[in-house]
A = this chain, B = another copy of it.
């Protein structure tokens, strides 16, 4: 279970920051508000921001012939970005949307290059975060193809500690790849509710 941390705490958990660098970080990231339902990224657009979720929940989904399939969530203390669009700066196949009114600290592609260059350990921070996101993405994918929805739901509860209570069960079911009725049965078994 991940602790809720501020942006500076997350950075400082991975690299050393001088006081001057802390100031620079707070200049490079800008606070941005997203209303519930608003898009951080729309399919077909180039992802030009990395966001850090200070408050709220974001969902990632892919439009599969008209059906929105959730494949990830980000909440307080986590980064949000579509690396597949952001790194090569090409149009995205994915959509990222706020599921609650949200407060993010965002950094543009250009400012992020400045972050990497000007901070003594900027590239190290980038390397470590991308490694973590990469490994998590691979684990999620494996899980989707090898584990039962019930196992996946247990992992979801571990990873996203309170999202389950904050978003519609419809969105959770979409993430698990099951119908809402199946999720309801899984929840009864796991949570012991009748």
Identify the A interface with B (CB < 8 A).
Answer: 83-84, 87-88, 93, 116, 121, 123-124, 126-127, 130-135, 137-139, 141-142
Q: Which residues from chain B contact A127 at a C-beta distance below 8 Å?
A: 116, 123-124, 126-127, 130
| CB atoms of A134 and B87 under 8 A apart | yes
| CB atoms of B124 and A83 under 8 A apart | no
CA separation between A126 and B127, bound complex, in Å? 6
Q: Which residues from chain B contact A139 at a C-beta distance below 8 Å?
A: 84
10 new A-B contacts, CB < 8 A, other than A87-B135, A116-B124, are A83-B134, A83-B138, A84-B138, A87-B134, A123-B124, A123-B126, A123-B127, A124-B127, A130-B131, A141-B141
Q: Which residues from chain B contact A126 at a C-beta distance below 8 Å?
A: 123, 127
Q: Which residues from chain B contact A133 at a C-beta distance below 8 Å?
A: 134
Q: Which residues from chain B contact A132 at a C-beta distance below 8 Å?
A: 87
Q: Which residues from chain B contact A135 at a C-beta distance below 8 Å?
A: 83-84, 87-88
CA separation between A141 and B141, bound complex, in Å? 9
CA separation between A191 and B126, bound complex, in Å? 43
Q: Which residues from chain B contact A141 at a C-beta distance below 8 Å?
A: 141
| CB atoms of B83 and A131 under 8 A apart | yes
Interface centre among A88, A133, A138, A142 (most CB of B within 10 A): A138
- A86 shortest CB reach to chain B, Å: 9
A15 closest partner in B (C-beta): B123
- A128 shortest CB reach to chain B, Å: 9
Q: Which residues from chain B contact A124 at a C-beta distance below 8 Å?
A: 116, 123, 127
A82 closest partner in B (C-beta): B138
